[in-house]
Amino acid sequence: MSVNTCNAYGKITISDTAIARVASLAAMECYGIVETVSRRFTDSLSELFKKQSHGKGVKVTTNGDRIYIDLYVIIKFGVSINAVAESLKESVKYRVEKFTGMIVDTVNVNIIGVKL
């Protein structure tokens, strides 16, 4: 899937993969996030054979001009889970909206684990 929009210059199409990469990079810049991880073990195996790992741990769903993002992350031990999750949501939402010009409806944060 992808999101589409039109402006005075023509039609713009942005793939879910591009949105996932932007969301993943924004997530990695947030304090307290150690890494983004795949949702399932089979996803982890398929990631081993790909050269680019950006977008790993991010699921993007689009509906019209609305974007729904699910993030799967490992956080640093000792940080406030609530504070990190809220910061992550705001950062990803802002970055993706700025990148696409579309509305990010929801950002769901799924904490898969904790690392020292």
How many domains does the structure of the chain reveal? 1
Instruction: Give the domain range for residue 96.
Output: 2-115
Q: Which two tokens stand for residue 94?
A: 């802002």
Find, among 87, 98, 27, the residue nearest to 56 by Cα.
27
pTM for this model (two decimals): 0.83
Find, among 109, 107, 87, the residue nearest to 97 by Cα.
107
CATH of residue 108's domain is: 3.30.70.1350
Per residue in 35-71, pLDDT (tens digit) is 999 876 555 555 555 555 557 899 999 887 789 999 9
